Amino acid sequence: MLAVGAAVVTGDRWPYAWMAADLTLFAVRFLLMRECERTRKRGGTGPLAGLMAAGGSWSLIFGLGCYGCVVSGDMALAVLAALNVAGVVGVVSSRNAATPRYAIFVMLAVSLPFLVGALLSPAPGMSIVGFQVPFYVAGVIIVLLQNHAINARMIRAELDNRDLAIKDALTGLPNRIFLQEKLRGMCSELAAPAANGGRPFAVLSMDLDGFKHVNDRFGHAVGDMLLRKVAERLKRAFRPGDVVFRIGGDEFVILLPDTSEIEATMLAKRAIEKISVPFDLGVGTAIRIGLSIGSAFAPADGREPELLLTCSDHALYEAKRTGKGRYRAHVRAAN
């Protein structure tokens, strides 16, 4: 509307160029926002850099247009330009705290041309307005940076609380809550087409053999130290993409995405071998424990988290019943 008013009042051609550029950038930004939304629904990020570049270009053109309004000498146009600059700067400050450098660029691109125009304007009193602009913009930037700091602290606090909720305090491994979330996500992918998901995965339930004896003989402090060492060995025993969980006491669960039954068997037996190596915990004697493992496979043994955990638990009980320090896969019922 400011460009339309400038065209009517001044009768010059530059307001029409301003309107054409503004409409072009509006169309570009609209298309980019639609593409970002479509990409977000597919799990991507979209052309965010292009969207920010279009926004920066608009701010430069808007600033130059306001400069033209102020230097025209028409007081009504100058006042309208001042109101528009103040409004844009205020809105950018309140809505772009997450991207402070981009917001500061936009505010300066809008306000600096107006500042220069106000100082050069023949309209009475505009030079005084121009001298006030730096103070206004500086104050708004300070508010922007304060809002950014507050948002950053809130996000960090949320992440810290999230870590406390999903991590085991003793070992630092993900806990039962995160296991349920992760397992639900992997099970939901089983329904996806083979090209996008639905890859098989294994669930390994684990239990330490002889851990209670260590706790009873050496105390809980040594037992806690042993659990931390076990967690470290388990992480080294499996692949980088596998996830180790401690779900309580001396119980662990491993999720093996995109794996075959043969590969899962080899990994489970390697974990048993690593845990069977004596631990030196500084108590004057090497501590020996074992590891029993039961497994279930998706989708062969089930497609629901509870069913898969139940199947792997049953296999674990069978492994412990037949001598401990063993690995057993869930035995499927004959059709």
Nearest to 245 by CA among 318, 171, 302, 161: 171
Q: What is the four-CA torsion angle of 265, 256, 308, 42, rounded to 10 degrees?
A: -150
In this predicted structure, the answer to whether residue 283 has a pLDDT above a threshold of 60 is yes
Cβ atoms of 332 and 301 within 8 Å: the answer is yes
Q: What is the DSSP letter of 279?
A: B
Cβ atoms of 238 and 181 within 8 Å: the answer is no
Taking CA 113 as the corner, what is the angle to CA 60 and CA 63, rounded to the nearest 5 degrees? 35
Name the percent of the chain lying above pLDDT 90: 61
pLDDT value for 197 = 47
pLDDT value for 193 = 52
Model pLDDT for residues 76-101, shown as the tens digit of each residue? 888 899 999 999 999 998 888 888 99
CA gap 326, 278 in Å, rounded: 17
- Tell me how long the chain is: 335
Strands (DSSP E) along the chain, which ranges?
201-209, 243-248, 251-257, 290-298, 327-329
Q: Of residues 250, 258, 280, 301, which has the active-site annotation?
A: 250
Cβ atoms of 244 and 173 within 8 Å: the answer is yes
The structure tokens listed for 331 are 């035995």
CA gap 28, 52 in Å, rounded: 11
Q: What is the DSSP letter of 246?
A: E
pLDDT value for 195 = 40
Report the run of H or E that residue 84 belongs to, with start and end. helix 75-95
* 280 catalytic per annotation: no
The structure tokens listed for 315 are 């296999």
pLDDT value for 178 = 93
CA gap 262, 79 in Å, rounded: 77
Predicted model pTM: 0.62
Query: What three-state secondary structure class fits 208?
Result: strand
Model pLDDT for residues 214-268, shown as the tens digit of each residue? 999 999 999 999 999 999 999 999 999 999 999 999 999 999 999 999 999 999 9
Nearest to 16 by CA among 3, 5, 1, 2: 3
Model pLDDT for residues 148-186, shown as the tens digit of each residue? 999 889 888 888 787 778 899 899 999 999 999 999 999
CA gap 24, 6 in Å, rounded: 19
Nearest to 303 by CA among 187, 181, 179, 184: 187
Domains annotated for the chain, with CATH where assigned, are 1-163 (no CATH), 176-329 (3.30.70.270)
